[in-house]
Structure 1
């Protein structure tokens, strides 16, 4: 499985509760695409949200986000970590 970092824009003013709600929506259906969402971070001032996941493909990650109602603007594989 590959790790992916995705980026969502336009979520200015997002609260901790809203971020958790979006994350839970992904978790509820992630298994249908063989994806696991590990963490999410947000900057309410810029409206940027980042999600770290593991899955078979960037397309699978995007499909879960789309079905959860918050498609990613970018999905990047991150095959190396230190």
Structure 2
């Protein structure tokens, strides 16, 4: 199954609790799109949030994020890793 890293650019000031809540919102509906969200990281100063997931397509990942209320600005398929 392909892996994806997505980026949210407008979450300045996000707290650890906010990040956890957003991640849990994704987890609650991920199965409906065949996606598995693995982890999320945030930089509250820049407002960037990064999510690592596995799923059938970038579109499926985006649908989960949209339904959870935080559309990704970028989604990149990970094709090489070490």
In angstroms, what is the RMSD of aligned CA positions? 0.4
In the alignment, what sits opposite 1:26?
A: 26
Structure 2, unaligned runs of 5 or more: none
Matches within 5 A, 1:33-44: 33-44=33-44
The secondary structure found in structure 2 opposite 1:71 is: coil
TM-score of the pair, normalised by structure 2: 0.99
Give 4+ residue runs of structure 1 displaced > 4 Å after superposition: none
TM-score of the pair, normalised by structure 1: 0.99
In the alignment, what sits opposite 1:75?
A: 75
In the alignment, what sits opposite 1:11?
A: 11
The secondary structure found in structure 1 opposite 2:53 is: strand
In the alignment, what sits opposite 2:56?
A: 56
